[in-house]
Amino acid sequence: MNSLASFFKSRQFFIQLIVILAVIFLIFFAIIRFLSSYTNHGQYVVVPDFTGKMILALPGFVKDKNVSYEIVDSIYDPREKPGMVLRQDPEPNSKVKHNRTVYLYVTGLVPPQVIMPRLVDRSERQARLIIETYGLKFGKVELRQADCNGCVLAAVVNGKEITPGTSLKKGTVVSIVVGSKDPVRDHADSSGVSPGDVP
């Protein structure tokens, strides 16, 4: 027991203790340096602005930017070019770590489909409202002599009558044929207003 106590008080014990502590410190310091290097601690890149870029141009655009990208959603907008970046996350000029993934929202390449609603026997005003509500575009009104006055007789797309339930691209122009008890001239009224419209 006395020999153990004397060992703890000896110079040799203190030397060994200092060596052990030094080794522990060096190991801890090496681990910190490794983790810092592995995670690129303190090193950032500025997120480039993807807005307005076309999908086909993205691989070349990010080649030297130290970031990657992923398209997460497409939004159909007839006012914009198909396949163009609308917005991104993170925002442009944000500071992120190397090889950070930037999530992109682009305009859809193909318009979404909508189902043609039933317009027959409705008034012209009702038909116009329904067409626009479904994301379609109202075209022109063609008058046709019929027993009803101001009622819709048919819906027309590209000169052909279209039946309810038909799948159409959003934004398709739909015209209507409206009945009139009065004799009508043999031409389409492109003004969108027919004399037989029921108020």
Predicted TM-score of the model (pTM): 0.51
CB burial of residue 146 (10 Å; 0-12, 13-18, 19+): middle
Q: Just give the CATH number of 113-180.
A: 3.30.10.20
- Integer Cα distance of 71 and 159 in angstroms: 38
| pLDDT tens digit at each of 199 positions of the chain | 566 566 556 777 678 888 888 888 888 888 877 766 655 555 789 999 999 999 999 999 999 899 999 999 988 877 888 999 999 999 999 999 888 999 999 998 888 899 999 999 999 999 999 999 999 999 999 999 998 899 999 999 999 999 999 999 988 999 999 999 887 664 444 444 444 443 3
Strands 45-46 and 167-169, bridge-based pairing = unpaired
CATH of 45-107, one of 3.90.1150.10, 1.20.210.10, 3.30.10.20, 3.40.50.360: 3.30.10.20
DSSP-assigned letters across all residues of 74-132: EE--TTS-TTBEEEEESPTT-EE-TTEEEEEEEE-SSPPEEEPPP-TTSBHHHHHHHHH
Neighbouring residues of 162: CB distance < 8 A, sequence distance ≥ 6: 116, 155, 156, 168, 174
